[in-house]
Amino acid sequence: MAPMSLMPRQKIIDMLKIENLHAYYGKSHVLHGVHFDVQPGEIVALLGRNGSGRSTTAKAIMGLVDCQGDIQWKGKQIAGRKAYEVAHLGIGYVPENRDIFPTLTVHQNLMLGQKGKGKGSRWSFEDMYQMFPRLRERQHTEAGVLSGGEQQMLTLCRALMGDPDLIIIDEPTEGLAPKIVELVGQYLQTLKAKGISVLLIEQKLTIAMAISDRALVMGHGSIVFQGTPDSLRADAYIRKEWLEV
């Protein structure tokens, strides 16, 4: 047996790796060679102004828009797969518009997030209700009458009930009160502690910079910056050119 120092190093496979990604809405070319990766147990913030291509990037990963390029999930190409196939591979998606089922109760919405009756899942209904006690109080209430903050909690938890290894969350704090924004930040850090990766699409720099391991900035359909939150804070040009209104 070879000494440990002479053992061949095992190649590390990125959890999610995107290279030269282009996406289209009809004839409109929206993404122009996007490239980045997300590692296990990492929170990556995808920042940028409205129209920069952040939501389109999420939809391309999930198979919801026409795209070209490489989208690799745990070393396997997934570009061109259907959305339900991508979800079953272990990628959860929380869209900006939340997409709850308004005539179903909170508990029924959570049930719809389960795969295979939840067997072997890291998460249970009780976990969701402990994380967001307000959902426990409202579990038998139709989701359509929930407040915006409650609907956001429900959408986050429904995605988690599918037991993803990566969760893509699009603008989770949009329109929420500061106290609920703080709850969402705690939720995302709980996911990281459980080893779940997060791709966070946000406009609120405060929460994104506080909880992220890395920050990406998009502009005109391309990645214009990649680095740590500290390096982004120090880069006045990038913030002024691509983030500040």
Query: What is the secondary structure of 126-190 as a DSSP string?
Result: HHHHHH-HHHHHTTTSBGGGS-HHHHHHHHHHHHHTT--SEEEEESTTTT--HHHHHHHHHHHHH
pLDDT of residue 184: 87
CA–CA dist 80, 102 (Å, integer) = 30
Distances (CA, A) of 97 to 41, 71, 72, 157: 26, 24, 26, 15
Model pTM? 0.90
Domains and CATH numbers, the chain: 14-90+166-175+199-245 (3.40.50.300)
CA–CA dist 214, 244 (Å, integer) = 19
Model pLDDT for residues 205-218, shown as the tens digit of each residue = 889 999 999 999 99
pLDDT reading at 174 higher than 90: no
Q: Which residue has the tokens 């490239």?
A: 35
